[in-house]
Amino acid sequence: MKRIILCFAVIAAIVLSVTVAAVPVYGAGDYTLENESFVLDFDEESCGFTVTSKKNGLVWYSSPVDASGSKEDEMRSLIVVDYTDTDTFEPYSLDSYSECVLMGDYSVKKADNCLTVTLKFDSIDMTVPLKISLAEDGFRFSLLTEEIEIKEENVCIRYISVLPYFEAAAPETDGYLFIPDGSGALISFAEIPGSTKNYSAEVYGTDYAYENQNTMKFENITMPVFGAKLGDKAYLAIIEDGAAECSLEAYANNQRTKYANAYARLLVGKTVDFNISINSTTVFEKLPIKNSNVTVFYNLLSGDNADYTGMALCYRDYLEAEGGFTAKKDSDTAVYLDVYAGTVTKKSAFFFTYNGYTALTTVDELAGMIEKLQKNGTKDIKIRYLNSNKSEAFSKITSKIKFVGGLKGDISDLDALNKIDGVTVYPAISNLCTYTNENYIFSKASKGVEDLAEITVRKSLKLNAFGDVSGESAYFLKPRLVSANLEKIFSQLKKKNVSGIAFSDVGNRLYTDYSGNGCKKEKFKNSLTEIFENASKNTKLCFEDPNIYAAKYASDIVGAPVSSSGYDIFDTDVPFWQIVMSRFNTYSGELLNGVYTKKSLLKAIETNTNPRFVAMERYNDVPASSDLTKFYSASLDAQTEAISELYTALCELNAKTEGSVIAGHSCVAKQVFCTEYENGTAVYVNYSEKDFTLADGATVPGGDYTVKAVDNR
């Protein structure tokens, strides 16, 4: 390991660090970028920069202007590199300010109104190029990962943090950090208990190839964004490239430093502990770095747009202008039903046990459900017909569409139900990525993904109340096989003239495969996206809680997040997801079986989220050993009243908003929220037990809501 630094270089660094001004002063010079909206001034001596708005003179800083303390050099850095010495297993962290800038080991070039900054980390013989450019609405900061050069062999680069202290905020700052966890969450600028952990989560969810499964349910990051409100200015950062291989990191005030900050961190080299009997070792991902480039687009906001609503509207406009999203055509209220066709359970005959199928809702019975709902006044119904596909029901790798015989119907019979006015029925496949029962053990292993230790990745299908693993283990199917089977399924649907299909896992699950040439999450994402794009041209797609790359092609979304994961440092949840997606998709939220309350109604009203229930025609026939027993009271008759109340309330709201999309959201008082629509309607929801009086004297009853025109508030 090259760790030799001459004494005079250390002394020079100390002197230089003392002479650097505490407050960076950036003026026009050789490294200034300018367009019609902004001026970006880059200081060659410190490698810090500012972006100034020509419209209002507001300034955004690459690092805190009064950075001080033990992490001062880190706070002044454009990137931070974390690595492990593979000889000693010792972790190290290198910040670009002390390692590169103070040592003079960097260069800056300007060309085509872009800046290229090349950082040289001598201690590990690593060169990292960065690119900075201005845009109409802000600036782009790129980590050119594919051009990184590293010659030191005994190094595993773990993480590279990208612009980690951009607009880091002191506790007295008026504002908050925005994190897209679930529906969205805010971290207020204020001191919190020191024992509270910071926020860290992978974009698009956990990489199942190397992370242990957790018994707790956490909300995913389905949108690659984060931001901050800072007084009368704000920013929304969009990870445009390489998002699938990044995590979002956020610190509240006085956790790591006195500042609150959020940033994208590239996940580079993975490790896995490999145990053989009583011996163990750590396996490191080998060089060269295989990650994609990372580009973060910082949208700089001010005035009325400097809050989480402005961030959401900014991202919504970005998706439409840059992401190819199109506005939805249908704004009608709908009831979403997850109808279970049947379940597989252990059965016995003549002293033998076998996997048998119990039909719970045949195709004809499904038609009867639809008729019953429509007679009860529910005109628009969207159904996922689950556990109907034979290979999936019996836990095999799914590449064919064929119903279980006991359902007395075929996929074409479902499509006939779609001809009923207001009805959409999706044959559903929940488990394309996992399987348990594919021939013999060697076949299972050969088709499953491998971790760094060349061990086939498995997960437990069941966990008991104490968290102990029990039951079968599922294998994760190799990404290339998932893509191949998806294409086979869409080909069959086209031949059968089936209009739509629903998926549960391929829209929200990504993982890495280390076997063969390997496949990182970003590559897997790109493969799925291409398939979805082609299929959506003639097939309606329904996804469950999809990541944004899949949501683009969704006709319907089920299981949309209505809250965050509830981390300790979160101050409040916000419907960022709903503000963004209300323009593009019709969506439903969490399952309401057995948990429907007046609060569920209020949440649906606040977020304009359609109701979703589970139903089975013969719920009483569910075997005691089936997982379906977890759905409380899943007969349709038991839910008629709740369905009717929610559907009626949302239809009335939709009539008053004229089907327009959400234009704003705010917290009026504790437990009182206002959702505004583009046609001028405002909906006030009061979760507290006490009545709340608005500024105009109108009352929002406790545990209820009020719909008003904006001009009359």
From 233-237, 488-492, 591-595, 662-666, the region with the lowest mean pLDDT: 591-595
Residue 463 predicted with pLDDT over 70: no
How far is it, in rounded angstroms, from Cα 291 to Cα 269? 9
Question: Which SS3 state, helix, strand or coil, does residue 215 take?
Answer: coil
Fold adopted by 7-321: Beta-galactosidase; Chain A, domain 5 (2.70.98)
How far is it, in rounded angstroms, from Cα 628 to Cα 616? 10
Residue 91 predicted with pLDDT over 70: yes
Exposure string of 329-364, with b = 16+ CB inside 10 Å and e = fewer, is eeeebbbbbbbbbbbbbeeeeeeeeeeebbbbbbbe
- Confidence bin at 252 (pLDDT 50/70/90): very high
Report which of residues 51 and 474 the model is more confident about. 51
Q: Given this model, what pLDDT does residue 412 score?
A: 85
Listed ranges 200-214, 321-335, 501-515, 620-634; the one with the highest mean pLDDT: 501-515
Per-residue pLDDT reduced to its tens digit, 146-200: 999 999 889 999 999 999 999 999 999 999 999 999 999 999 998 776 667 899 9
Average pLDDT, stretch 528-544?
A: 96
Residue 462 predicted with pLDDT over 60: no
Residue 28 predicted with pLDDT over 70: no
How far is it, in rounded angstroms, from Cα 383 to Cα 64? 52
How far is it, in rounded angstroms, from Cα 685 to Cα 674? 6
How far is it, in rounded angstroms, from Cα 544 to Cα 556? 9
What percentage of the chain exceeds 70 in pLDDT? 90
Report which of residues 626 and 241 the model is more confident about. 241
Per-residue pLDDT reduced to its tens digit, 367-395: 999 999 999 999 999 999 999 999 888 88
Class of domain 335-436+478-652 (CATH, top level): alpha beta
- Confidence bin at 277 (pLDDT 50/70/90): low
Residue 471 predicted with pLDDT over 70: no
How far is it, in rounded angstroms, from Cα 499 to Cα 424? 10
* Tokens describing residue 265: 């961190």
Report which of residues 461 and 142 the model is more confident about. 142
Q: Given this model, what pLDDT does residue 374 score?
A: 93
From 94-103, 488-497, 557-566, 629-638, the region with the lowest mean pLDDT: 629-638
Please report how many Cα atoms fall inside a 13 Å half-sphere around the Cα of residue 621, on the Cβ side. 15
* Tokens describing residue 556: 């319907």
How far is it, in rounded angstroms, from Cα 203 to Cα 283? 24
Residue 533 predicted with pLDDT over 60: yes
Q: Given this model, what pLDDT does residue 712 score?
A: 45
- Confidence bin at 461 (pLDDT 50/70/90): low
Average pLDDT, stretch 579-583?
A: 96
Residue 8 predicted with pLDDT over 70: no
Per-residue pLDDT reduced to its tens digit, 326-364: 998 877 899 999 999 999 887 766 667 767 889 999 999
Residue 216 predicted with pLDDT over 80: no
Residue 467 predicted with pLDDT over 80: no
What percentage of the chain exceeds 90 in pLDDT? 68
Mean pLDDT of all residues belonging to the chain: 88
Residue 465 predicted with pLDDT over 70: no
Per-residue pLDDT reduced to its tens digit, 592-641: 987 888 999 999 999 999 999 999 999 888 888 788 888 878 889 888 88
Residue 682 and residue 713 in contact, taking contact as beta carbons nearer than 8 Å: yes
From 40-44, 237-241, 270-274, 283-287, the region with the lowest mean pLDDT: 270-274
Angle at which helix 479-495 crosses helix 521-535, to 10 degrees, equals: 0
Residue 474 and residue 463 in contact, taking contact as beta carbons nearer than 8 Å: no
Residue 704 predicted with pLDDT over 70: yes
From 25-39, 64-78, 409-423, 492-506, the region with the lowest mean pLDDT: 25-39
Residue 415 predicted with pLDDT over 90: no
- Confidence bin at 29 (pLDDT 50/70/90): low
Residue 22 predicted with pLDDT over 50: no
Q: How far does the chain reach from its first CA to its final CA, in angstroms? A: 67
Q: Given this model, what pLDDT does residue 452 score?
A: 86
Residue 258's beta-bridge partner residues? Answer: none
